Amino acid sequence: MKKIRCNHLDQISECAKFVIDLSRHSPVWVFQGAMGAGKTTLIKAIASEMGVVDIVHSPTYGLVNEYEDLKGNSYYHFDFYRIEDLMEAVDMGVEEYFDSGKYCWIEWPEKIEGLLPEEFMKISIREVDRDIREICIMKQTNGGSK
Amino acid sequence: MTVNILAIESSCDETSASVISDGKVLNNIIATQSVHEKYGGVVPELASRAHQQHLIPVVHEAITNAGISKSELSAVGFTRGPGLMGALLVGGSFAKSFAFSLDLPLIEVNHMEAHILAHFIEDPRPSFPFICLTVSGGHTQLVLVRDYLDMEVIGETLDDAVGEAFDKTAKLLGLPYPGGPFLDRLAQEGDPKAFDFPVSSMKELNFSFSGIKTAVLYFLREKLREDAHFVENRKADICASVQHALIEMLLIKLKKAVKTFGITEVAIAGGVSANRGLRDALSVLSQRLGWNVYIPRLEYCTDNAAMIAMAAHFKYEKGIFCPLDVSPLAKMKIGIHE
User: β-strands A119-129, A132-141: how paired?
Assistant: antiparallel
Give chain B positions within 8 Å (CB) of A130: 218
Selected residue with higher pLDDT from B74 and B213: B74
CA distance linking residue A5 with residue A127, whole number of Å: 10
Predicted confidence at residue A59, as pLDDT, reads: 87
Would the CB atoms of B159 and A57 count as touching at under 8 Å? yes
ipTM: 0.73
Whether the CB of B46 is below 8 Å from some CB of chain A: the reply is yes
Would the CB atoms of B158 and A61 count as touching at under 8 Å? no
Predicted confidence at residue B44, as pLDDT, reads: 44
Whether the CB of A51 is below 8 Å from some CB of chain B: the reply is no
pLDDT-above-90 percentage for chain B: 80
- Across B178-198, average pLDDT: 94
The conformation of residue B207, written as its DSSP 8-state character, comes to B
Give chain A positions within 8 Å (CB) of B330: 64-66
Tens digits of residue pLDDT in B202-226 = 889 999 998 898 899 999 999 999 9
Predicted confidence at residue B97, as pLDDT, reads: 97
Whether the CB of A86 is below 8 Å from some CB of chain B: the reply is no
- Across B18-44, average pLDDT: 75
Which chain B residues in 154-183 lie under 8 Å from chain A, judged by CB atoms?
A: 156-161, 163-164, 167-168, 171-172, 177-178
Half-sphere exposure of A116 (CA within 13 A, CB side): 28
Provide the strand spans (E) within chain B: 4-9, 16-21, 24-25, 29-30, 75-81, 106-110, 130-135, 140-147, 150-156, 265-269, 292-294
Contact criterion met (CB below 8 Å) for A32 and A124: yes
The pLDDT of residue B337 is above 90: no
User: β-strands B4-9, B16-21: how paired?
Assistant: antiparallel
Give chain B positions within 8 Å (CB) of A61: 12, 136-138, 161, 163-164
List of domains in chain B: 4-117+300-318 (3.30.420.40), 126-296 (3.30.420.40)
Residue type, A33: G
The conformation of residue B71, written as its DSSP 8-state character, comes to G
Query: Nearest-CA residue of chain A relative to B87?
Result: A92
CA distance linking residue B66 with residue B309, whole number of Å: 13
Residue type, A129: D
Contact criterion met (CB below 8 Å) for B84 and A92: yes
List of domains in chain A: 2-145 (3.40.50.300)
Contact criterion met (CB below 8 Å) for A55 and B139: no
Query: Nearest-CA residue of chain A relative to B83?
Result: A62
CA distance linking residue B336 with residue B65, whole number of Å: 34
Closest Cβ–Cβ partner in B12, B156, B217 for A36: B217
> What confidence category does residue B31 fall into, taking pLDDT thresholds of 50, 70 and 90?
confident
Tens digits of residue pLDDT in B133-176 = 999 988 999 999 999 999 999 999 999 999 999 998 998 999 88
Q: Using H for helix, E for strand and C for coil, what is the string for A74-85?
A: EEEEEECCCCCC
The pLDDT of residue B80 is above 70: yes
Q: Which of B235, B171, B242 is nearest to B227 (CA)?
A: B235
Whether the CB of A83 is below 8 Å from some CB of chain B: the reply is yes
Burial of B250 (0-12, 13-18, 19+ CB in 10 A): buried
Residue B196 has a CB neighbour count (10 Å cut-off) of: 11
Burial of A54 (0-12, 13-18, 19+ CB in 10 A): middle
| Radius of gyration of chain A from its Cα atoms, rounded to whole angstroms | 14
Give the DSSP H/E element, type plus range, for residue B105.
Answer: none
Predicted confidence at residue B92, as pLDDT, reads: 96
- Across B109-132, average pLDDT: 98
Give the mutation candidate from B13, B52, B159, B221 for the A interface (greatest A CB count, under 10 A): B159
Q: Using H for helix, E for strand and C for coil, what is the string for A64-116?
A: EEEEEECCCCEEEEEECCCCCCHHHHHHCCHHHHHCCCCEEEEECHHHHHHHC
CA distance linking residue B140 with residue B241, whole number of Å: 20
Residue type, B295: I
Selected residue with higher pLDDT from B193 and B330: B193
Predicted confidence at residue B48, as pLDDT, reads: 62
The pLDDT of residue A10 is above 90: yes
Give chain A positions within 8 Å (CB) of B156: 55
Contact criterion met (CB below 8 Å) for A141 and A46: no
Contact criterion met (CB below 8 Å) for B312 and B77: yes
Whether the CB of A91 is below 8 Å from some CB of chain B: the reply is yes
Predicted confidence at residue A126, as pLDDT, reads: 96
- Across A77-92, average pLDDT: 86
pLDDT-above-70 percentage for chain B: 94
CA A27 vs CA A48, A97, A104: distances in Å: 17, 10, 6
| Crossing angle between the packed helical segments B210-226 and B230-261, to the nearest 10 degrees | 150
The pLDDT of residue A122 is above 60: yes
Find the DSSP H helices in B118-229. Answer: 162-172, 180-187, 210-226
> What confidence category does residue B46 fall into, taking pLDDT thresholds of 50, 70 and 90?
very low
Give the torsion sign (CA, B150, B154, B159, B160): negative
- Across B189-199, average pLDDT: 95
Contact criterion met (CB below 8 Å) for B148 and B312: no
| Crossing angle between the packed helical segments B210-226 and B162-172, to the nearest 10 degrees | 20
Predicted confidence at residue B84, as pLDDT, reads: 84
- Across B232-239, average pLDDT: 96
Give chain B positions within 8 Å (CB) of A54: 331
| Helix (H) and strand (E) counts in chain B | 11, 11
- Across B24-37, average pLDDT: 78
Chain A closest CA to B103's CA: distance in Å?
Answer: 30
Give the mutation candidate from B214, B221, B272, B334 for the A interface (greatest A CB count, under 10 A): B214
Predicted confidence at residue A22, as pLDDT, reads: 97
CA distance linking residue B258 with residue B328, whole number of Å: 34
CA distance linking residue B299 with residue B121, whole number of Å: 11
Predicted confidence at residue B194, as pLDDT, reads: 97
Burial of B71 (0-12, 13-18, 19+ CB in 10 A): exposed
Predicted confidence at residue B152, as pLDDT, reads: 97
| Crossing angle between the packed helical segments B162-172 and B230-261, to the nearest 10 degrees | 170
Predicted confidence at residue A44, as pLDDT, reads: 95
